[in-house]
Chain A
Amino acid sequence: MSTETAKSSTESEISGLDYEETELKLGLPGSTRATGSEPERKRGFSETVDLKLGGSRAQVVGWPPVRSFRKIALKSCAYVKVAVDGAPYLRKVDLEMYAGYQQLLTALKEMFSCFTICNSPNTNERRLVDPLNGAEYVPTYEDKDGDWMLVGDVPWK
């Protein structure tokens, strides 16, 4: 089905999508899609979004000992790095600027101006398409556990 490892098959189950073999992902230029290459997934420059999806550790009350007004006062900086295969440099995006995935995709489209958005024929998933070669780009991110996740499954908040 897909060229990813077992982890991504979980992904597929969640998203219910069939991946094309030629599917390209956002990632560093030149990186391979070798199966089971887990270390490669933890690329230093990959887009990382700190979504605490059930978290590996439950947060403890009052720890670290920082008063709550300090935590609130500092607006959490939700800047994430975005890397696209084939793009010469990365971009940074402030997630707080956007109210939903659609806006995020639009912004990404503007940044990496070679893409246009089109609807996937299969589902309502939005994808970025490079009009030159027809290759579709699927936005993914690496979560806390180091897994590559498809953008869009988790509610925006």
Chain B
Amino acid sequence: MEGYRRRGRDEMKGGGGAYYRAQIGETWVDSADQRSDVQVFRRPDWEMDCRPTTVVPSGEELRGNRGGRSRTAAGGVAHEEVFIWNCVGPPSVLKPLIPPPMKEVSEMPAGGEGDGGKGLQCFPDPGGTAPQMPFFDHILENVLENVLCFLTSRRDRNAASLVCKSWYRAEAQTRIELFIGNCYAVSPSRAVGRFRRVRSLVLKGKPRFADFNLVPLEWGARLTPWLTAMAPAYPCLEQICLKRMTVADDDLFLLACSFPRFRDLSLICCDGFTTAGLAIIAENCRYGIHLSIQGISDRFTTAGLYQFESWFSSTRNLRSLDLIENDVEDDEDEAVDWVSMFPPGNTCLESLVFDCVACPVNFEALASLVARSPFLRRLRVNEHISAGHLCQLMARAPQITDLGTGSFAASGDADDAETALESAFHASKSLSCLSGFRGIAAEYLHIIRPVCAHLTSLNFSYALISPQQLSPVITCCPNLETLWVLDSVGDDGLQMVAASCRKLKKLTVFPLEATEDSEGSVSDVGLIAISAGCRKLRSILYFCQRMTNNAVVTMSQNCQELVVFRLCIMGRHRPDHLTGEPMDEGFGAIVKNCKNLTRLAVSGLLTDVAFAYIGKYGKLLRTLSVAFAGNTDLSLRYLLQGCPRLQKLEIRDCPFGDAGLLSGIDHYYNMRFLWMSSCRLSLNGCEEVARALPRMVVEVIKDMPGIENDSVHKLYMYRSLVGPRNDAPTFVNIL
């Protein structure tokens, strides 16, 4: 008979109380069968993806999964895994034992009943929860799952899930990385209901203009409902990355307790938590093993538990804790010593980023933690770590590749720090990324020179450096791909960058003085210089006070690989400072010449012409930021009707009204969101959009008194599968 060769006994067979029957060839077998020529294996459900085991396939022997490695059962007998598929419904639903006619695989029906395939009939496992499926689809879906698990890109997966229902289901079962770009576009229960086996989650909340205080504090994007839904559903969750979410300390506690495999936490631009929450994360991840067993013990036998525990002990510690640009709200005297809460003994820590944490940390605890983290490759400390402390950390972790240097200034005995720091940098062989420099004294800058030759990323955006101070350092960095500087380096400094850093891909120039009427030390001259030297530039964010069309056009011609072009001329409505003309031609050239452009931010004096260009040429544009620009509603129409890939449009202080808003009605369902603040929208216009597009959530935010009732100060609009959210604060009116 085709099918299985006996290999050995699976310890877990029948251990979970599941009953199953399968037809192999023309024979029906069930789990109680004692026949020696066939053995029905059941894959232990505490294995990699915690899915309940079910039915055995017929036909060809399918080996293993993900490469067919063999396992050793608890009894010590090696056996090959047999591919096992998802199970179905409650015991009361049983299919008749009539083998269906054969069907070609290529004629796979979409959800038809009783069709196709040879010899597979599925019977329920009382513990299973999957909906009943027609059996032919069942085979194919499982074949599909095996194939689809190799798809990693979420866009590819989204496309695959649209082929047919069978593909949809198979894709849903195999998606392990879940990306949710707008936490209100879908509800936690829907997400959890569709994707059953998520191990990695990326969740984004507030619109980006929240970074600039345009979104009131209590607006929303709380993590709590997500955790509550995911805790029972995703026992295998390992990674969470949150951006612009409100995360409370209680959430961090729930997180630490609910996910035994949890390893990587990344919080970017989040708020709502304190060092107490960090302490919880640091401490509780080591207790994960006990918590997890309590949570799902009813699915395990004792044998299973032992397996589980031993598997777990090697992964019980946190692997990465990355806190990037968050608002960690602590009063100085209430700060918790969270660094001391990491468990004793060696840790698995690979990345620890806390440069945004405002409170000082316990240095001894930190030094000890670093010393017992042999896998640590990224460490970014906050500004309270002095240069003297930094050398001690570097000495304990010579393997670090990414270092955030804290203040990089002396506190007290300056001489010792400098010498020690010099030898630390001389000794470093592996540094490729440097940042921090929060309190840097210019005389310390030369210390980093020994590592410059291998640096690929350098962040001086907190360091006040003059061109003369930059020069000796930057000329040693030929391999730099990412550079952040303040405009204090001036056009001269940028010339040096252009001359030395030929491989530069990403440049950010922040303003030392971020006001409209500051002097501004970089200009069109610097931009032209960069474009001439850094031809491989992919991404640029440039703050300045003076710019010319010519410079922007030059950049568009020299740097055709640009994917991100963000130019911020800080003075509002400022024209080309040489010709007095609007900046239309410059930005027009960018969208025309840079064929890979997906993200654009415009500024300066701009008329409708600029937006006509963007609509005409910006065919790959996904993100657009507009401020103080445009003449009429035509601008908005050009954008909405011209840019098919536009996903994220954020507009402030532009003379766009209801007509412009309505011109995009055919496009809004393709977008993730639209933000318009301080424009000329009225409530009527927004209501009309809300009527025309029932699946758009149209939020009117009114956080300032004294605005007439009919005009709309801030509009935030996004597509959603679940309609208006139920946690909107009083100042948000959902139309």
| A and B assemble together | yes
A interface residue numbers (CB < 8 A to B)? 56-57, 59-71, 73-74, 76-77, 144
- Whether B572 contacts A74 by the Cβ 8 Å rule is no
Distance of B536 from chain A, by nearest CB (Å): 26
B151 / chain A contacts, CB cutoff of 8 Å? none
Interface centre among A56, A59, A60, A63 (most CB of B within 10 A): A63
Q: Which 8 A-B pairs have the closest CB atoms?
A: A62-B212, A66-B514, A64-B570, A62-B214, A65-B212, A64-B514, A62-B213, A67-B211
Q: Shortest CB–CB separation between residue A22 and chain B, in angstroms?
A: 35
B277 close to A (CB within 8 Å):
no
Complex: chain B residue closest to A77, CB-CB = B464
Q: Say which residue of A61, A63, A70, A144 sits within 8 Å of B510 (CB atoms).
A: A70
B516→A63 contact, CB < 8 A: yes
Asked if B86 is an interface residue, CB under 8 A from chain A, the answer is no
Q: How many A-B residue pairs have CB under 8 A?
A: 63
Given pairs A64-B568, A73-B438, 12 additional interface contacts (CB within 8 A): A57-B517, A60-B653, A61-B213, A62-B213, A62-B214, A64-B543, A64-B570, A66-B510, A66-B514, A67-B211, A67-B325, A73-B383
CA distance A65 to B210 in the complex (A): 11
| B150 within 8 Å of A (CB atoms) | no
Are the CB atoms of B511 and A66 closer together than 8 Å?
A: yes
Residues of A within 8 A of B513 (CB): 76
Q: Complex Cα distance A61/B572, Å? A: 13
Residues of B with C-beta under 8 A to A66: 212, 510-511, 514, 543
Q: How far is the CA of A64 from the CA of B628 in the complex (A)?
A: 11
For A63, list chain B residues within 8 Å (CB).
212, 516, 570, 572, 627-628, 653
| A64-B516 CB under 8 A given contacts A69-B325, A70-B510, A74-B462 | yes
Does B486 sit within 8 A of A, measured CB to CB?
yes
Does B356 count as interface, using CB distance less than 8 angstroms?
yes
Query: How distant is the Cα of A57 from the Cα of B510 in the complex, in angstroms?
Result: 22
- A-B pairs with beta carbons under 8 Å apart, 7 shown: A56-B517, A62-B652, A63-B628, A64-B514, A65-B625, A69-B356, A144-B517
Could you say which residues of chain A place their CB within 8 Å of the CB of B213?
61-62, 68
**Which chain B residues lie closer than 8 Å to A62 at the CB level?**
209, 212-214, 652
Which residues from B are CB-within-8-Å of A69?
A: 325, 327, 356
Residues of B within 8 A of A (CB): 209, 211-214, 325, 327, 356, 383, 438, 461-462, 464, 486, 510-517, 543, 568, 570, 572, 625, 627-628, 652-653
Closest to B541 in A: A65
Contacts of B214 in A (CB 8 A): 61-62
Cβ–Cβ < 8 Å partners of B572 in chain A: 60, 63
CB A77 to nearest CB in B, in angstroms, measures: 7
What residues of chain A lie closer than 8 Å to B516, measured between beta carbons?
57, 59-60, 63-64
Q: Which residues of A contact B515 (CB under 8 A)?
A: 59, 64
Q: Are B627 and A74 in contact (CB under 8 A)?
A: no
Whole-angstrom distance between the Cβ of B217 and the nearest chain A Cβ? 13
| Minimum CB distance partner of B461 in chain A | A70
- Asked if A65 and B627 make an inter-chain contact with CB atoms under 8 angstroms apart, the answer reads yes
Q: A61-B214, A62-B213 are in contact. Are A70 and B464 (CB under 8 A)?
A: no
Q: How far is the CA of A140 from the CA of B468 in the complex (A)?
A: 31
Whole-angstrom CA separation of A56 from B356 in the bound complex: 34
Task: Give bound CA distance, A62 to B543, whole Å.
Answer: 14
Chain A residues contacting B510 (CB-CB under 8 Å) are 66, 70
B462, A64: Cβ atoms closer than 8 Å: no
Look across to chain B and name the residue whose beta carbon is closest to the beta carbon of A70: B510
CB distance from A88 to the nearest CB of B (A): 23
How far is it, in angstroms, between the C-alpha of A74 and the C-alpha of B462 when the chains are bound?
6
